[in-house]
Structure 1
Amino acid sequence: MNFPELKNQAVNSMLAKILIIENEPSLAEKIVRNLKQFNYEVLPVVFRGEDAIRSIELDKPDLVILDLQFAGDMSGPSLAELIHQRFGTPVVLVVESSENLSLDTVQSINPYGFVLKDFDNYRFSVVISIALQKFQTEKRLRESEERLKTIANFTYNWEY
């Protein structure tokens, strides 16, 4: 299935670098195919938490897609929390079903979105696009706040 309007939107908005942390090869391949269809740059899929951390440090992805039931050397929730706290990189979770999510898990991870493992391409691409846009908006807001703080500090020091 082809969605030219979304493909063009993804290309025009930004070519994001995306890291996939998934230990089910068939699901990882489905995610890779979908992301490439929408012209995202896909980093090599990682199957271990340590490799994910190393990849984030070296490649600095714009977004991480993580299977919440990841069963590598780290659990999915603990890895997502570490990525959020240490790198500030947005994480989209892949889940078996929405019933598997607890409020505590969601609050500690602070994900930018969810997709079900049996996702369709259109919904998947929408979740990814919204997550990237949300992160960019938050980043611009933080930068703007920093500029305002600098101006306020300069003005205060200049007057006194």
Structure 2
Amino acid sequence: MARNMRLLIAEDDELVVLGLTLVIEQFGYDVCGIARTASEAVSLAEIHRPDLALMDVALADGSSGLLAASEISGRLGIPVVVCSAHATAADAYAAGASGFLIKPFGIDALAKAVLAAFRSSGSCTPLAAA
């Protein structure tokens, strides 16, 4: 039996984390970690080696999700989808992101961005998300 794809969420808004977690699990993925700061996101990515990271740009303590995205995608080779109401797609892609979502975004947009990131990395996806 194949394991579920694992996602790391880097987001400091608890309600957004709750909503993302519920939707991600409905897609058939597992949430392997939740980070509130950029340094915590990098640390959790090193420990858990998720298949994908969902990264907000403005994290707790004024830390930058773009810097974390750059390290997670560059040094660790983990695809990142950046989610932001403040950054641009150009900012996200310059940081090495595989995808970009403008907040607020819908479930369909999230599903498409996650699937596209998995496809571009060569990963398999659960049937529930297809």
Task: State the secondary structure of the residue aligned to 1:94.
Answer: strand
* Structure 2: gaps spanning 5 or more residues: 124-130
Kindly indicate whether structure 1 or structure 2 has the higher relative contact order, using CA contacts under 8 Å at least 6 residues apart: 2
1:115 aligns with 2:115: no
TM-score normalised over the length of structure 2: 0.82
Partner secondary structure for residue 61 of structure 2 = coil
The higher radius of gyration belongs to 1
Structure 1 Cα separation of the partners of residues 105 and 73 of structure 2? 24
Between the aligned partners of 1:66 and 1:102, the Cα distance in structure 2 is 13
Offset at residue 44 of structure 1 (A)? 2.8
Structure 1: gaps spanning 5 or more residues = 1-11, 138-160
More strand by percentage: 2
Residue 101, structure 1, aligned to residue 101, structure 2? no
TM-score computed with the length of structure 1 as normaliser? 0.68
Question: How many residues are aligned here?
Answer: 122
Q: Is the 8 A contact 2:80 2:99 kept in 1?
A: yes
The answer to whether the Cα contact below 8 Å between 2:92 and 2:99 also exists between their aligned partners in 1 is: no
User: In the alignment, which residue of structure 2 is the partner of 1:25?
Assistant: 14
Distance 1:111 1:133 in 2: 14
Larger CA deviation: 20-29 vs 67-76: 67-76
Percent of residue pairs identical: 23
Tell me which residue corresponds to 1:47: 36
Counterparts in 2 of 1:125 and 1:54: CA distance versus 1, 3 Å? same
Structure 1 Cα separation of the partners of residues 101 and 77 of structure 2: 20
Q: Is the contact between residue 77 and residue 109 of structure 1 (CA under 8 Å) also seen in structure 2? A: yes
1:9-158 alignment, distance < 5 Å: 15-72=4-61, 74-96=63-85, 100-101=87-88, 103=90, 105-136=91-122
For residue 23 of structure 2, what is the amino acid of its counterpart? N
Higher helix share: 1
